[in-house]
Amino acid sequence: MKAQKISNRLKALGNKEQAAVSRRFFKTGPGEYGEGDVFLGIKVPVLRKLAKAYADLPLKEIETLLTSGIHEERLLALLILVRMFDRGDDLIRHQIYDLYLKNTSAVNNWDLVDLSAPYILGPYLADRSRAPLHRLAKSKSLWERRIAIISTFHFIKNGQFSETLKIAETLLTDRQDLIHKAVGWMLREIGKRHLQTEEKFLKNYYLKMPRTMLRYAIEKFPEPKRQAYLKGTI
């Protein structure tokens, strides 16, 4: 099936009321992080079902969807790529990895990043140099920086924390709230698996961390300890 036919099907599935909700939720107004993005109003579970139906779509057609101006077309493309990557051999995984890095400008909202980066870049780089993530962490693009830290979720799930901590250190002075939330989230995920590792990092940096980053990182701490971090009395 061609990308155009899929695009037409998505348009038929659209819902104007849901599209309006999505535009507000994903901050598409002037000056907001998703400024100008176009939504059809299709929920993620529907797109996941379609990703299964189009699992054999050629990469060229997937790239056409990925470079679309419509949010759900880009998300569908990414969900298909995640599914293909999980089931693919080394060659297809390499092709998907290259395609992803070539089109990071299309992975331009937090849902697109979070539903793809830890399932493509993370596993691809599991036994390779993580230098590409460090390059992304220093990018001028908010979304490339988020890709960098969220990709490390794959490492965290496998008990590997060092890359997350290095990238978190790089992003400590980032000015974007969506980066503060992402870094805090990944630190919290480390803490779920090895609290001592998270706390060692926090004790070195919590006084310098943006408040949102710290709040996300310590969200699950016992209340007295959480308050001690917030008050700077650790």
- The answer to whether residue 177 scores a pLDDT higher than 70 is yes
Q: At residue 46, does pLDDT exceed 80? A: yes
- Helix, strand, or coil (residue 207): coil
pLDDT digits over 198-216, tens only?
Answer: 999 999 999 999 999 999 9
Question: Can you read off the two tokens belonging to residue 172?
Answer: 């400590």
Q: Distance (Å, rounded) from C-alpha 119 to C-alpha 187?
A: 18
The yes-or-no verdict on residue 87 having pLDDT over 80 is yes
CATH number at residue 191: 1.25.10.90
Report the interhelical angle of 3-13 vs 71-87 (nearest 10°).
120
Are residues 137 and 179 located together in one domain of the fold? yes
Q: What is the pTM of this model?
A: 0.96
Domain that holds residue 1: 1-124
Averaged pLDDT, 135-152? 98
pLDDT value of residue 116: 98
For residue 1, name the pLDDT band (cuts at 50, 70, 90). Answer: low
- Return the SS3 of 70: strand
| Residue type present at position 165 | L
Same domain, yes or no, for 47 and 30?
A: yes
Are residues 87 and 158 located together in one domain of the fold? no
177-to-38, 161, 215 alpha-carbon distances in Å: 22, 22, 12
Bin 36: left if φ > 0, else alpha if -120 < ψ < 50, else beta. Answer: left
pLDDT at residue 234 in the model: 86
Distance of CA 157 to the CA centre of its chain: 15
Note whether 11 and 65 are same-domain residues: yes
**Do 3 and 112 fall into the same domain?**
yes
Q: How many CB atoms lie within 10 A of CB 86?
A: 11
Measured CA distances, 24 to 8, 16, 37, 107 (Å)? 24, 13, 11, 19
What is the chain's alpha carbon radius of gyration, rounded to the nearest angstrom? 19
**In sequence order, which residues have a C-beta less than 8 Å from that of residue 144 and are 6 or more positions away?**
104, 136
Q: Which of 124, 140, 157 is the last residue of a domain?
A: 124
Q: Taking 80 as the threshold, does the pLDDT of residue 78 lie above it?
A: yes
Compute the distance between CA of residue 212 and CA of residue 177 in angstroms, rounded to an integer.
7
Burial class (CB in 10 A: 0-12, 13-18, 19+), 57: buried
Whether the per-residue pLDDT at 182 is higher than 80: the answer is: yes
Within this chain, do residues 72 and 59 fall inside the same structural domain, yes or no?
A: yes
* Structure confidence at residue 58 (pLDDT): 96
Please check the confidence at residue 106 and state whether its pLDDT lies above 70: yes
Q: Position of tokens 């460090």?
A: 134
The answer to whether residues 91 and 114 belong to one domain is: yes
Rounded CA gap, 154 and 84, in Å? 17
Q: Which residue has the tokens 């999980």?
A: 86
Distance CA 49, CA 79 (A): 10
Is the distance from CB of 34 to CB of 65 less than 8 angstroms? no
Confidence of residue 15 (pLDDT cuts 50, 70, 90): very high
What confidence score (pLDDT) does residue 217 get?
98
Strand partners, 70: 38
The predicted model gives 125-137 an average pLDDT of 97
